Amino acid sequence: MIAMVIVSLVAIGITTVYFFKLQNDKYHFKRIQRKQKTVNLSLEYFLNDLSPDEVDDFVSRDFDLKVHEIAKVNSLIIHVFNTKGEELINTEPRDSIFKNSRLNPFLLYKLESAEDGKYVEKKENGSINSYSFAKNKKGENMVVINIPYNPLNFTAKTEVNLFLERLIEVFLVLFTGALLIAYLLTRYITKSIEEVRKKIEVVEINETNEKLIWEKQDEIGVLVNAYNKMIDKLEISKKKLAQNERQTAWREMAKQIAHEIKNPLTPMKLSVQHLRRVVSLKGTDEKHLKQFEDKMIGQIELLTEIADEFSNFAELPKAKMKSIDLSAIIRNTISLYNHHKNIRIAYDKLNDIVVFGDENQLTRVFNNLLKNSIQAVDSNGEISISTEINSIQNVILIEDNGVGIPAEIEDKIFEPKFTTKSSGKGLGLPIVAQIIRSHGGEISLMKKNKKGTCFRITLPILKDESEN
């Protein structure tokens, strides 16, 4: 309440002062324009029959006295310059800094450019300089008249001061009254709700909370009743939470592990099918068997690690960080998916990259991303993987010409459980993002002008231990 009174009065005071200042500035601006017009008419009377070439010779003692007389009558300071900017007459004291000065060429240019032959200059200190041409009867520019005008030299109006004095008096009365009322209300309310405050402070979700007893049916009684109802609802929620907590935790854990197991199973199935085709068409040899064995062992080890961690409350495998060849991981992952017909996976721009990370986790990253790209492209799909190294980080780009990701869901693709697939669990990209972040990197969706999707992965450069 007190704050509202203070803010209101301050706002009124500032608005009023600002309004009066605008009115005061407007008043002085119009005043200098009227003075300028009066001086121009007076001097044009003497210059009416002259030509511009005769001005310098015409400026005599009599004309100088006339200018001083006009300045005195109008309580002004007048500077008269010829059209070249040379000062002819100055009504300021002899020791004035403007004595024998020249008109600024820029101001003269501004004046000549003005359609009405007038230019008003406002300075930061509030003073006003008015410039105008005095013309003869033929409309030719004869002299430049400059009138410096400082509003502070004139007696200020007293309306603002009187209003501010009344405003301060009203403010003090209202502030005192609001302070007294606020004090009485605070005493009453704080005394009544002290017990409520103490009870609310000790409310705990996992503890037994006591209800409040309040016999009066007043505002405090309404608050007490609401508190007691909250305690009842809290007890019911605690029971439901206890019943569902374990079941929900295991359900979510099962979804996540099932999704993780599916990723290595798909390339294993493709490799088995590819091996069977190779055997049926041209037989096999030790080299093909060795490659198949290495791929299967790598994927089986990944499944084994996930299964082991499942027994520890479905935690993701803990990272086993070491120096690894990331480009080799990418090539091995590509070889698992490179048997799809009519889908081309290009990796011509794959530079050798060495990073500090977990081999299995990074394998899962590229398994996920390649699988998503293959599912997104059609029968003539193209997937491109490229890498680059700069002075700051390693950059990996995975791009496809598939259906792309709608703009309205681009900011949700890394959220857990968000998916556009009917059979997906929405954990693939969130897990990818979590793994990349755990390796000190970032993954983002790049904007594309063409159809398709492009993911950009950045990973820190492996620093030479000798640098440390």
Q: Give residue-wise pLDDT tens across range 441-459.
A: 999 998 777 788 999 999 9
Question: pLDDT of 131-153, one tens digit each?
Answer: 888 888 888 888 888 888 877 66
CB of 149 within 8 A of CB of 78?
A: no
* CATH 3.30.450.20 for domain 2-153: yes
Question: pLDDT of 53-70, one tens digit each?
Answer: 777 777 776 778 888 888
How many other β-carbons are positioned within 10 Å of the β-carbon of residue 335? 15
How many other β-carbons are positioned within 10 Å of the β-carbon of residue 147? 23
Question: pLDDT of 178-204, one tens digit each?
Answer: 788 877 877 766 766 776 777 676 666
Question: pLDDT of 30-50, one tens digit each?
Answer: 887 888 888 888 888 888 888
Q: Give SS3 for 141.
A: strand
Q: Give SS3 for 354.
A: strand
pLDDT number for residue 97:
46
Cα dist. 245→203, 238, 252 in Å? Answer: 21, 10, 11
CB of 170 within 8 A of CB of 5?
A: no
Angle separating helix axes 359-376 and 326-337, nearest 10 degrees: 40
Sequence-separated (6 or more) residues with CB below 8 Å from residue 1: 178, 181, 182
Label residue 65 left, alpha or beta by phi (over 0 means left) and psi (-120 to 50 means alpha): alpha
Q: Poorest-confidence range of 16-20, 252-256, 351-355, 389-393? A: 252-256
What average pLDDT does the segment 376-391 reach? 87
Burial class of 391 by CB neighbour count within 10 A (0 to 12, 13 to 18, 19+):
exposed
pLDDT number for residue 456:
94
Q: Which band of pLDDT confidence, cut at 50, 70 and 90, is reported for residue 305?
A: low
pLDDT number for residue 205:
61
CB of 393 within 8 A of CB of 460?
A: yes
Of 115, 118, 32, 117, nearest in space to 77 by CA: 32
pLDDT number for residue 393:
92
Phi, psi of 315, rounded to the nearest 5 degrees: -80, 145
What length does the chain have?
A: 468
The answer to whether residue 422 scores a pLDDT higher than 50 is: no
Phi, psi of 398, rounded to the nearest 5 degrees: -120, 110
Mean pLDDT of all residues in the chain? 77
Per domain, the residue ranges of the chain are 2-153, 215-318, 324-468
User: What is the spatial distance between Cα 30 and Cα 42, in angstroms, rounded to a whole number?
Assistant: 19
Question: pLDDT of 70-112, one tens digit each?
Answer: 888 887 888 888 888 888 888 887 655 445 577 888 888 888 8
pTM above 0.75, yes or no: no
CATH superfamily, with its number, for domain 324-468:
Histidine kinase-like ATPase, C-terminal domain (3.30.565.10)
What residues are paired with 398 via a beta bridge?
385, 455
